[in-house]
């Protein structure tokens, strides 16, 4: 995929008690991964970018304009999508069907002269159910009766159908079966290849390394380094534990040399 212009730029972006002084860019056609263990502040960062929670300092520059998102509705109108970690409480309306869930983030496109076009809404959902292989008796079945993996596909279909320009993805394959993991990963990559800027937040290193073009490692609310995806896993692991990049690299090369010496002795 070709990486384009800077879509999102964070300058000293801060939310008191959660994260501080985050400096990061995400370009069109790029997946930036944020690796970190639970409580590192990455999930709060995702919510603040989508307007679920308020940042307390710093600057968010989106498509060249400075200004934080005041609400999820403002974020949606700005073509920002958000796949949350907790799909049941933040990602879905469980008492509704796939039609309503998929169209809920995309009501402008589903409307004609200010009225919801129910035929278009249902056609879009039917197409998404087929395309995303969502196992459901019908697109009119309440999502509460679907399995975790199929609920997750509904959440992902909702935001990909929304043609988001900036997509915040938090733990997209949590509690999902292996077949669905591969499918979800492929769709995230397809979205990036279509020119979307993607911020992938996950504690799964395999997921981050497989999908990200660059990896920002967070520890206790701060970014400790930004590295390429082929960075050795032990270096990433040390950084996730708060070790600065240069120290983690030195420690990794030292242990690799010791391993080599040990093998040669034998």
> Following DSSP, what letter does each residue of the chain receive, concatenated?
----SEEEEEEEEEETTTEEEEEEEEETTEEEEEE--TTSSHHHHHHHHTTSS---EEEEEETTEE---SSHHHHHHTTEEEE-S-IIIII--TTSBHHHHHHTT-TTTTEETTEE-HHHHHHHHHHHHHHTT---S-TTSBGGGS-HHHHHHHHHHHHHHTT-SEEEEESTTTT--HHHHHHHHHHHHHHHHTT-EEEEEES-HHHHHHH-SEEEEEETTEEEEEE-TTS-HHHHHHHHTT--HHHHHHHHHHHHHHHHHHHHH-
- Please state, in angstroms and rounded to a whole number, the distance separating the CA atoms of residues 246 and 55: 30
Please give the structure tokens belonging to residue 220: 């206790």
Q: Say if residue 74's pLDDT is above 50.
A: yes
Question: Which is more confidently placed, 12 or 178?
Answer: 12
Question: What whole-number percentage of the chain has pLDDT above 90?
Answer: 48
**Out of 61-70, 138-147, 169-178, 212-221, which region has the weakest mean confidence (pLDDT)?**
138-147
Neighbours of 70 (CB within 10 A): 10
Q: Please tell me the predicted confidence (pLDDT) of residue 142.
A: 79
Please give the structure tokens belonging to residue 228: 């390429």
C-beta of residue 47 within 8 angstroms of C-beta of residue 166 = no
Average pLDDT over residues 141-155: 81
Select from 114, 151, 122, 123 the least CA-distant residue to 135. 151
**5 phi/psi in degrees, rounded to 5:** -75, 160
Confidence band, pLDDT 50/70/90 cuts, at residue 259: low
Do the strands 30-35 and 214-219 form a parallel or antiparallel pair, or are they unpaired? Answer: parallel
Do the strands 57-62 and 115-116 form a parallel or antiparallel pair, or are they unpaired? Answer: unpaired
- Please state, in angstroms and rounded to a whole number, the distance separating the CA atoms of residues 83 and 78: 16
Q: What is the pLDDT of residues 179-210, one digit of tens each?
A: 778 888 998 999 999 999 999 999 889 999 99
Q: Please tell me the predicted confidence (pLDDT) of residue 257.
A: 47
Average pLDDT over residues 138-152: 80
**Out of 8-17, 69-78, 135-144, which region has the weakest mean confidence (pLDDT)?**
135-144
Highest mean pLDDT among 108-117, 147-156, 184-193: 184-193
C-beta of residue 28 within 8 angstroms of C-beta of residue 183 = no
| C-alpha atoms less than 13 angstroms from C-alpha of 256 in its C-beta half-sphere | 10
Q: What is the pLDDT of residues 81-91, one digit of tens each?
A: 998 876 665 66
Select from 112, 119, 160 the least CA-distant residue to 139. 119
Q: What is the pLDDT of residues 44-71, one digit of tens each?
A: 999 999 999 999 999 999 999 998 899 9
- Please state, in angstroms and rounded to a whole number, the distance separating the CA atoms of residues 185 and 196: 15
**16 phi/psi in degrees, rounded to 5:** -50, 130
């Amino acid at each position: 995929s070709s990486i384009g212009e800077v879509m999102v730029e964070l300058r000293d972006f801060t939310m008191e008690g959660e994260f501080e002084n985050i400096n990061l860019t995400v370009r069109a056609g790029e997946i930036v991964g944020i690796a970190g263990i639970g409580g590192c502040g990455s999930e709060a960062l995702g919510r603040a970018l989508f307007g679920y929670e308020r940042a307390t300092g710093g600057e968010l520059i989106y498509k060249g304009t400075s200004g934080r998102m005041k609400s999820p509705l403002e974020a949606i109108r700005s073509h920002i999508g958000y796949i949350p970690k907790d799909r049941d409480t933040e990602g879905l309306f469980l008492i509704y069907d796939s039609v309503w869930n998929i169209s809920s983030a995309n009501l402008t496109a589903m409307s004609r002269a200010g009225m919801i076009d129910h035929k278009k809404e249902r056609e879009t959902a039917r197409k998404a159910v087929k395309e995303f292989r969502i196992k459901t008796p019908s697109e009119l079945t309440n999502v509460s009766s679907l399995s975790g993996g199929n609920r997750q596909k509904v959440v992902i279909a909702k935001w990909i159908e929304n043609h988001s320009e900036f997509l915040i993805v938090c733990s997209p394959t949590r509690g999902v079966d292996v077949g669905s993991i591969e499918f979800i990963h492929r769709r995230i990559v397809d979205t990036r290849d279509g020119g979307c800027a993607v911020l992938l937040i996950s504690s799964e290193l395999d997921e981050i390394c497989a999908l990200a073009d660059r990896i920002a490692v967070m520890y206790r609310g701060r970014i400790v380094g930004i590295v390429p995806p082929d960075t050795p896993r032990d270096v990433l692991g040390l950084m996730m534990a708060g070790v600065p990049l240069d120290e983690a690299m030195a420690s990794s090369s030292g242990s690799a040399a010791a391993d080599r010496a040990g093998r040669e002795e034998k």
